[in-house]
């Protein structure tokens, strides 16, 4: 049996995924988590073969979760998302995700993808993969953090306090991030970066 843990913050979708996978004779859904941090705690406890994770979740994103799972050697991660964003795909693969699946794909592909990931393979939409390698993420991790918080409406002093940085350092990161993505201001830069999947 392939032991699968589902990390999905929308309860209805998590339930639907669990029901869909329960039909498969060789797949056992061992748990469901509603945010990334809970998923990591459950993964440590349950040791699933495959962790099926949404990309945008509270407390810890699917990308952050994939990185943690890889560093701890807990299992393999398959990202399941609505976002066909090349930047997300690229970052997910760079941190060790084994699959990047879109929620609008046929349901039959999900179980097959889980089997392939369990067997050590990778599953990625070919067209999305080609786009991902054409548009590299120009942001550093710190620029990404600062732009994400700016996009959420936080002020310079609030960002500085949240990230334990000097306000001047925050201004520098914002300036660099805005310049790199070609934004008119911090909000526009965050919007552009989010659309590309860089945040």
Task: Please tell me the distance from the alpha carbon of residue 53 to that of residue 51, in angstroms, as a whole number.
Answer: 6
Whole-number pLDDT of residue 39:
95
Q: Where are the domains of the chain?
A: 2-134, 141-196
| DSSP H stretches of helix in 27-85 | 36-46, 62-72
Q: What is the pLDDT of residue 193?
A: 85
pLDDT value at position 134?
Answer: 60
| pLDDT at res. 131 | 62
> Can you name the CATH fold of 2-134?
Rossmann fold (3.40.50)
User: What pLDDT is recorded for position 88?
Assistant: 80
Q: Write the Ramachandran bin of 102: left for phi over 0, alpha for psi from -120 to 50, otherwise beta.
A: beta
Q: Mean pLDDT across the chain, nearest whole number?
A: 88
Contact 34, 11 (CB under 8 A): yes
Dist. CA 163–CA 52, nearest whole Å: 29
As a CATH number, domain 141-196 is 1.10.10.10
Flag residues of the chain having pLDDT under 50.
none
């Amino acid at each position: 049996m392939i032991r699968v843990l589902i990390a999905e913050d929308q309860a209805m979708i998590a339930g639907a995924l669990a029901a869909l996978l329960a039909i498969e004779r060789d797949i056992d859904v061992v748990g469901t988590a509603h945010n990334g941090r809970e998923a990591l705690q459950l993964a440590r406890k349950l040791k699933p073969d495959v962790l099926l994770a949404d990309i945008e979740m509270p407390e810890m994103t699917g990308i952050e979760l994939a990185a943690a799972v890889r560093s701890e050697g807990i299992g393999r991660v398959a990202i399941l998302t609505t976002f066909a964003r090349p930047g997300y795909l690229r970052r997910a693969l760079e941190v060790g995700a084994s699959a990047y699946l879109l929620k609008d794909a046929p349901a039959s592909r999900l179980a097959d993808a889980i089997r392939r990931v369990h067997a050590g393979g990778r599953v990625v939409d070919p067209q999305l993969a080609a786009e991902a390698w054409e548009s590299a993420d120009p942001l550093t991790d710190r620029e990404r953090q600062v732009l994400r918080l700016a996009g959420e409406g936080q002020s310079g002093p609030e960002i500085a306090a949240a990230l334990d940085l000097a306000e001047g350092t925050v201004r520098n990161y914002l300036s660099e991030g805005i310049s790199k993505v070609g934004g008119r201001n911090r909000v526009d830069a965050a919007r552009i970066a989010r659309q590309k999947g860089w945040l």
